[in-house]
Amino acid sequence: MVYPVKGGFPMDKLIWLILMVLFLIVEASSVSVVSLWFAVGALAALVAALCGGEIWLQIVLFFAVSILLLCSLRPLVKKYLTPRLTRTNVDGVIGSTGLVTEEIDNVLAHGQVKLGAMEWSARSTSDEPIAVGTRIQVDRVEGVKVFVSPVKVDEPV
């Protein structure tokens, strides 16, 4: 135990408690998920101090628990806290196939395709007209128009 003066109040418990609270405050004010592990390490050292453990044991426990948790659990927690990029509906349309429902003619600026349950305004990627009933594949999306090309008969759909 650490005493400020001979026969005084053991300060090690108070120091670990203050450190734990400080690490929790730092963690709450950041999004890095680093200080949390040191707060748990301080808690382990506090428990050792409450059980009468020597100061060297408390320090070893603090660093061992903190580093072990930092190295083992932080990657897992970070994986779940990192936002996943979700593709939008528009991104999901690229590469999909569908049918021409209104002839596609870039010169006349008209054409419609059906992709799943949705109707889209369409233009030909190659500027060639595409007839009604032709199976197409979406090459790109610009605004509310899809640019498509016919799927060859021998290509799988």
In the chain, where are the structural domains located? 11-81, 89-150
Angle, to 10 degrees, between the axis of helix 35-50 and the axis of helix 11-28? Answer: 160
Q: In the chain, how many H helices and how many E strands?
A: 4, 5
Measured CA to CA, the distance from residue 62 to residue 81 in angstroms comes to 25
Burial-class residue 75 by CB neighbours within 10 Å (0-12, 13-18, 19+): exposed
Q: Which residues, listed in sequence order, are joined to residue 136 by a DSSP beta bridge? A: 98, 150
Take residue 51 and report the two structure tokens written for it.
């059980």
Q: What is the pTM of this model?
A: 0.50
pLDDT for the residue numbered 88: 64
134 touches 150 (CB < 8 A): yes
Query: What is the number of other CB atoms lying within 10 angstroms of the CB of residue 110?
Result: 13
pLDDT in tens, the chain (157 residues): 555 545 555 788 999 999 999 999 998 888 778 888 899 999 999 999 999 999 999 999 999 999 999 899 888 887 777 776 656 667 778 888 999 999 999 998 899 999 888 899 999 999 899 999 999 999 999 888 999 999 987 655 5
For domain 89-150, the CATH superfamily is Nucleic acid-binding proteins (2.40.50.140)
- Backbone dihedral angles phi then psi of residue 64, each to the nearest 5 degrees: -65, -50
